[in-house]
Amino acid sequence: MLSQRPLVVRIDRAALTHNLGVARRATLAAHPQARVLAVIKANAYGHGILRAAEALRNADGFAVLSLDEALALRHAGYSHPIVLLEGFFSGDELEAMAHAHLRPVIHREDQITLLARAALPHRLDVWLKIDTGMHRLGIPASRARAALAALQACASVASVTLMTHFAGADEPAIGVAAQQQVFSECTQGLALPVSLANSAALLRYPAVVGDWVRPGIMLYGASPFAGQTGSDLGLAAAMTLESRLIAVRRVARGEGLGYGHAFMAPQDMNIGIVACGYADGYPRHAPTGTPILVEGRETRTLGRVSMDMLCVDLTPCPNAHVGSPVTLWGGALPAERVAAAAGTIAYELFTALSARVPVEET
């Protein structure tokens, strides 16, 4: 007998495919030759890497983090270009990367030294990451030309694609102009393919798409912008986290609820206990008032989220009972709203979802 705990995450594969279409159309409108590299790192933002790859197989390539993820895609039969966003962590990985025709991002000069020394079964297509102002990964713009020359001199390098990543494509106060300026100055005159845009840049600054766009969050149906949901952008939410009430209680005015009595009932009220807690990936820091649906009606969480349960206000749903359906996020309740209430972003909700939550695909 399988567990009957009612918590389940539903992944809508048609939504993933639809969102890729949105990304594709935005890309084509900006640059008819540009290709779409579907970012499916972090287990496809919690949606399941192989499930997502299948739904997104019309992408021109995939981007992942680790060799393991890339090899899983190759084993499943995907022959797409696969970019490794952090390249190789150790020179020991290079041979396997060459064998599998993977495309590592080169972001440090010592990686070029390792490449120069490597004797590989095939030459590699590599991506050179230039730091144009995010100051996370990348070769400083002032040294990018020298790094490129060193890469092009490596016998093990077949081609180079130039990339950078924006720190504030989703924040109008920062934008992309300053970084774009640095990028175009240091790559001026080079006839090499370039890749600049994440979801936010693709949607807000289509002029910067370059030759490869790298949409991530939008493929899963969530918005990269604060104060806007995926559906505002024509996207369909691919993930719905659903559960049920496992208890319904009446608490009296002045009684405290859950750990720390973080919520005190201001009057007699009906409350429900939902089978979902922080061990499932629901954010523990979601405060009283975080939106949640019971029987499709919006209400709010109450008190502290426990490991396996959380508490909801049943005042707006007087007919709710043990077994009533609950939507934690997805469907009529955008994950972006839950994330905002909990002081985080949909990216974190999706990727933090625990492996113990059973998946149902539609």
Ligand X SMILES: *Cc1c(COP(=O)(O)O)cnc(C)c1O
Q: Which residues bind ligand X (CB under 6 A)?
A: 39, 41, 85, 165, 198-200, 214-217, 224
Backbone φ, ψ for residue 41 (5° rounding): -65, 175
Number of CB atoms found within 10 A of residue 252's CB: 9
* H helix or E strand, kind and range, residue 274: strand 269-274
Residue with Cβ nearer ligand X (161 or 199): 199
CB 230 within 8 A of CB 221: yes
Q: Is 352 exposed, middle or buried (0-12, 13-18, 19+ CB in 10 A)?
A: middle
For residue 27, the minimal CB distance to ligand X (Å) is 13
d(CA 312, CA 59): 41
Residue with Cβ nearer ligand X (51 or 165): 165
Contacts 24+ apart (CB under 8 A), 96-101: 96/67, 96/71, 97/67, 97/70, 97/124, 98/122, 98/123, 98/124, 98/156, 100/70, 100/71, 100/74, 101/125
For residue 301, the minimal CB distance to ligand X (Å) is 27
Residue with Cβ nearer ligand X (8 or 134): 134
Residue with Cβ nearer ligand X (60 or 95): 60
Q: Which residues are known catalytic residues?
A: 41, 259
For residue 47, the minimal CB distance to ligand X (Å) is 12
For residue 217, the minimal CB distance to ligand X (Å) is 4
Residue with Cβ nearer ligand X (41 or 47): 41
Residue 220 CA to its chain's centroid (Å): 7
For residue 31, the minimal CB distance to ligand X (Å) is 17
CB 277 within 8 A of CB 300: no
